[in-house]
Structure 1
Amino acid sequence: MTEVKHSHPRGLYVLFMAEMWERFSYYGMRALLVLYCAKQLFAHMDNPDSEAVAVYGSYTALVYLTPLIGGLIADRILGFRKAVILGGILMSIGHFVMAFEQEQVFYLALAFIIVGNGFFKPNISSIVGRLYDEGDARRDAGFTIFYMGINLGAFLAPLICGYVGEQIGWHYGFGLAGIGMVLGLLQFIYGRKHLKERAEPPDADALKHQVLPGVNKEWAVYIGSFLAVFVFWQLVQLHTFVTYMLGTIAALSVLLVAGYGISKCERIESHRLFVALVLIIFSVPFWAFFEQAGSSMNLFTDEFVNRVMFNFEIPASVFQSVNSLFILLYAIPFSMLWIWLAERDKEPSTPFKFGLGIAQVGLGFVCLWYGATTAKDGGQVAMVWLILGYMFHTTGELCVSPVGLSMVTKLSPQRITGLMMGMWFLFTAFANNLAGIIAKFTTGGEAAEAGSGVMAYGSVFGTVAGLAFGFGFFVLVIAPLLKKGMHGIN
């Protein structure tokens, strides 16, 4: 029987609070983004919903693309602590710039958040992995607790920022999200002593080397980061180009990691790296389906779900809190379940958890599809079907996301952990872009092919459910083979 420690490092709770406030800022803005674009920014266009989901898809894709670069820079140059602080500063600027109402300023704000997230998101997750020694059975539980911090912020944000944004003014909601980001950054700076030197630069002396007259390597990174903002200012407006760019980068990254595993790793290390690569690839369908929440499901809720309760119509953006509420309810039970099973050597393997997660997101879309069919004659969808859909998405998420983050830190060679964490987010970026493409089938000409009104959504949701079941079943079938390649790491 495996001996398992139950207490966690104090640094975990520092990271919990910092990530909670950062996620408050991100999800506060996310809850409002597609609705703001559809109802105000693009309201003058012929099909504002279609343009809104395109911007949402490009933005969320780029948000998850930049961690590939930010993780690599932290691994090789800056260290995790400095990278997180840089990312927090850039994101704070972006959220406050978003409070100003002008289209190009809006895109500039998104660019600041995109670049800042690249430094913040992968590296704070990597620090969580560094708090645990190899083989520590608490790691999955630790990531689940960390994931609760993410979702506490994500739960509060739509309730506060969403309500203020829809009922008082869009930019007041965006401004509140900026305050959350500043609080997250201050929390991290204040509690950095509890990280026990596990987030420092790989070579502190190298940061002082001059790369340009009067500019050392550390400041070159900072200056380059601000210059990158102007590149992403343009990219977030180029939806088709982003699609092709992400596909190319994803393919090249697979070849890069595969080549590294073959040429630079020992046999067992190589097998583990390839299992991580396979699971990262299979995270794509999960996130492409799951991330309908902020786009097609958000618009579906606004247009077709009966949101009246006790004679009060709940703003559509507030329903973005439902997923996070279920996370808060289920995260500790899931964490305890994994530890209880680990103590008895019966914990499911990471690949098996992935298969279960993908299948459960399919169940969620079955609920949404059925709700749409009950309202096809002009009625509204009962709120219960939306809530049930979010519930199954949540149980699937708990089998994939915290477990996936933990999997990357366990199976990747330590010298490229940041890069692999960045790759996890790169493929999440590819999935988010794919999510935007899927969402467009509920709008415009694509919707006309599926039907009209609510069934434009229902048809798409039914197709997504079938695909999710197919992917989930396939991963479950190959799970024993992948487990063997992990060589004792569960």
Structure 2
Amino acid sequence: MDSLLKNTQKKASFFIISMVMWEFFSFYGLKSILILYLTSQLHLSDATAYEIFGNFAALVFVTPMIGGWLADRYCGYRYAAALGCILIILGHITLAVFTYNIYIGLSLLTMGIGFFKSNAICLISSCYPDDSVGTSSAFSWYYVSGNLGSMISQIICPYLVEKISWHAGFMAAAIGMVLGLIMLILSKPYFRWERDSVKMRRWHQFSFLKKAIGSVSVILLLLALTYYTLYYNWVGSLLLFTGVVAAAMLISIYRKTDPIHKKSLIMIGVLTVFAAAYWIFNNQGANSVPLFILRYVNRDLFGFIVPTGMFQALNPASILIFGTIMAVVWRWLGQRNIRPQSESKLSIALLFLMIGFFIIAYGAKLANTHGSISLLFPLFGLLIIGCAEIFVDPVLLAAISDIAPPNTEGQLVAIYYLIIGAFANYLAIVVAKWTIDPMTNKATALTYNSAYLQIAYIASALFGLLLLRVIFRKRT
């Protein structure tokens, strides 16, 4: 391949990956302060806050299907990603300025992420046409930059909220997305090899006025649908519908494939259920755990009061550090022909999840007696839970890639993300409500202890089941 073209591709991927990093900064910065904003600033009950947070988090995994479909059929990845950036920026600004109706801001963010997420990934893929090595390297940097962006934002945004104002926290997230949009604009000259499809050429033939009218009409329609879905709590019904569609797709794939791949599909399905369980419980780190920290943890660290939302930075930090260590470990094992099965790796994730929640539950038990506890309990608990993620998504996605029947990998990955993203975030609402006393409708140290013990016990049971599967497989 021409060295000049390779250099151009590297520059193009640099700008797109930088854009993605700033989108992670924007989204996870918001996520680190949202549940606290709903309860502390808007004075909503825990149950209502969990529902709003969970519905929003679930819906952002559904809307990328719409954004991706519109980009494929009409406007292209770049235009759709740019629209996404603009909507995300407007969403953050709306949350910062118009506090009387949070659903407007969340709807803008939901649709913005819908236009951005899948199309940004497609832009990364398009940086290296017919170069699988380059694509693989780019996605490795995508994962690293995303976690780096989310870690930085989960330090900055909570700090600004506690030291300045809520508006400053939301505006910092908006500025992050502005920088992402600038990266997208700067990338344009480096996509010299891009060739428009027939549909894209038709789109470019439209006048600016027609493009503007069409885009605004579609956005307003989708925003209205998103707004009412969030406002009237229709997310569960929407997920039921998408679940039926996903099940029909799976049945169709299963029927058309050969017996060997049928067995593989069953294995992927079983492992996905375990992965979904991990994510349902892991998501407590962004909804119920921050409220526990706010109310029962002494956050004084040598005179510095650690902002509550800043604890969420432990997750991406643990992934970056522990992920680097595990990459070396996997390579070392591979050189010795030791390749742990997917079930073995996933069982490690459940073991870490169990330990992490046992630590937090014990802290809650002490809080019930002493009133407040050391920040070391949530610190170590969340670090261990964050490390577990290394053994979930990368493992399951690799398994899908290895054993998926021909021409089905894209569909299976989409269904996987629907389950561990949309469904897991929605079901996390139910788990978060375990922390609320049904008699008083309030959370106490005792209810937090009970909820996190339940999670630890369920994780223990799931770990035991997978361990039995691993042992049984070795004997047969």
Q: When the two structures are superposed, what TM-score results if normalisation uses the length of structure 1?
A: 0.81
Bigger drift between 48-57 and 20-29 goes to 48-57
Closer/same/farther in 2, CA of residues 17 and 330 from structure 1, 3 Å limit:
farther
Match of residue 310, structure 1, among 302, 316, 321: 302
Match of residue 423, structure 2, among 430, 444, 450: 430
> What is the identity, as a one-letter code, of the residue corresponding to 2:325?
P
Gaps of 5+ in 2: 1-8
1:81 deviates by 3.9
Cα separation, 2, equivalents of 1:296 and 1:347: 37
Give the structure 1 partner of residue 100 of structure 2: 103
Closer/same/farther in 2, CA of residues 267 and 476 from structure 1, 3 Å limit:
same
Contact 1:350/1:407 (8 A) holds in 2: yes
The one-character-per-residue Cα deviations of 1:318-338 (angstroms, maximum 9, x if unpaired) are 212122222232232233333
Closer/same/farther in 2, CA of residues 138 and 206 from structure 1, 3 Å limit:
closer
1:17 deviates by 1.9
Q: Choose between structure 1 and 2 for higher RCO, CA contacts under 8 A separated by at least 6 residues.
A: 1
Cα separation, 1, equivalents of 2:202 and 2:463: 46
1:165 deviates by 1.6
The one-character-per-residue Cα deviations of 1:55-74 (angstroms, maximum 9, x if unpaired) are 11111111122223334444
Query: What is the aligned-residue identity percentage?
Result: 28
Contact 2:103/2:227 (8 A) holds in 1: yes
> What is the identity, as a one-letter code, of the residue corresponding to 1:243?
G
Match of residue 68, structure 1, among 60, 65, 72: 65
1:95 deviates by 1.6
The one-character-per-residue Cα deviations of 1:259-311 (angstroms, maximum 9, x if unpaired) are 14434x67777666665555444332111111101110010110011111123
Give the structure 2 partner of residue 461 of structure 1: 452
User: 1:68-467 residue pairs with structure 2 within 5 A?
Assistant: 68-74=65-71, 78-104=75-101, 106-125=102-121, 143-191=139-187, 204-205=200-201, 207=203, 223-239=217-233, 241-263=234-256, 276-405=268-397, 419-427=411-419, 428-445=421-438, 453-467=444-458
> What is the identity, as a one-letter code, of the residue corresponding to 2:144?
M
Cα separation, 2, equivalents of 1:164 and 1:446: 36
Bigger drift between 123-132 and 333-342 goes to 123-132
Bigger drift between 405-414 and 393-402 goes to 405-414
Closer/same/farther in 2, CA of residues 447 and 361 from structure 1, 3 Å limit:
farther
The one-character-per-residue Cα deviations of 1:121-172 (angstroms, maximum 9, x if unpaired) are 2343455567789997898876454222112111111221111123321122
1:344 deviates by 4.3
Give the structure 2 partner of residue 5 of structure 1: none
Give the structure 2 partner of residue 471 of structure 1: 462
Contact 1:75/1:202 (8 A) holds in 2: no
Q: CA RMSD in A?
A: 3.8
> What is the identity, as a one-letter code, of the residue corresponding to 2:114?
G
Cα separation, 1, equivalents of 2:226 and 2:272: 25
Secondary structure in structure 2 of the residue aligned to 1:441? helix
Gaps of 5+ in 1: 1-7, 484-490
Q: When the two structures are superposed, what TM-score results if normalisation uses the length of structure 2?
A: 0.84
1:13 deviates by 4.2
Give the structure 2 partner of residue 16 of structure 1: 17
Contact 2:32/2:154 (8 A) holds in 1: yes
Cα separation, 2, equivalents of 1:422 and 1:27: 22
Cα separation, 2, equivalents of 1:234 and 1:32: 23
The one-character-per-residue Cα deviations of 1:350-386 (angstroms, maximum 9, x if unpaired) are 4443332233222211111121222221331221111
Contact 1:75/1:415 (8 A) holds in 2: no
Contact 2:62/2:418 (8 A) holds in 1: yes
Closer/same/farther in 2, CA of residues 366 and 276 from structure 1, 3 Å limit:
same
Give the number of equivalent residue pairs: 465
